[in-house]
A and B are shown apart, each in its own frame.
Chain A
């Protein structure tokens, strides 16, 4: 799927956020010289196509009380990782779950699952649940806790 010029303008106009005005889509349309209706229609089709995941609020987890943020990483048998990854991703405490390449020798882990909790104890309980699910297919793991958000802006496309 290639982006049209209008798509690029629409992304550039909304990637930092929607205007907090009673008619936000009309406000975006006014910036781009189109109607609010056109903005809504294209955003709706982008949602359908998956080009937009969702339109809504992105909270600061820390502020919500989820102060323990652990990137759990696992060395999982390549033959089993896809089947097991789906099951790890389905656990309620896992917000993101991916397969990624190992970087040997420094980095032996190929399954990444982000786990959030109010305490590190909660994160460790969830990690234990993942460990049990992976069983013998897993030959090593670690939890990397975040200690500071250094940047969180999201996508920034140049309007081109």
Chain B
């Protein structure tokens, strides 16, 4: 009963790409994504300034961003906080979940606001999530809570050292590569 209250009917899942979703954005969208991988200008009208670089109006930039957020091409638009700099913690953790239990456990894990990301992966440890919390104590508490509500052993993998973090995937190049594939 308790579980039924917590558990949404379907965990939100973003399925891997299907051919049809490629049509939801065009070459201009790709250029806009690549431009906004960098920095949004810290100006009064940043979208107008970005638009000027790309020969788009401010309205067009905003409209494209709204559409790409609505259809899932973008998952978010805004500041990416690196909360470690203020004492916060991001901790990667994994669970071994039985296939028959996967949806239920997904709903339980995702119900924690501290769970920032969660991915299903092909491995006996098949659920990999990231806990983002304001302090080590809060991160530990969230991981302990996952163990308690799921009844599973939580394997935690706090980062001991960061060698590189950056997104170098180009939307433009991905589009060009796809176009090339099609021509082959």
Contacts and interface: CB of A to CB of B under 8 A. Distances in A.
Contacts of A11: 81
Nearest to B170: A64
Contacts of B81: 11, 15, 46, 51-53, 154-155
Contacts, number: 275
Interface residues of A, number: 82
A55 B40 contact: yes
B121 A66 contact: no
Contacts of A89: 163-164
A11 B82 CA distance: 11
A58 B78 CA distance: 8
Contact of B132 (A14, A36, A118, A156): A156
A116 B85 CA distance: 27
B160 interface: yes
A152 B171 contact: no
B85 A1 contact: yes
A101 B157 contact: yes
Interface size grouping (class) on chain B: 35 or more
A44 interface: yes
Interface string B148-184: 0000000101111111111111010011011000000
B22 interface: yes
Contacts of B76: 16-17, 57-58, 153-154
B48 A22 contact: yes
Contacts of B46: 24-25
Interface of A: 1-3, 7, 11, 14-18, 20-26, 36, 40, 43-44, 46-47, 49-67, 69, 71, 82, 85-86, 88-90, 92-101, 103, 106-107, 112, 116, 118, 142, 144-158
14 contacts: A2-B86, A15-B79, A50-B85, A56-B80, A57-B36, A58-B76, A59-B33, A59-B73, A64-B73, A106-B125, A112-B157, A148-B120, A150-B11, A158-B113
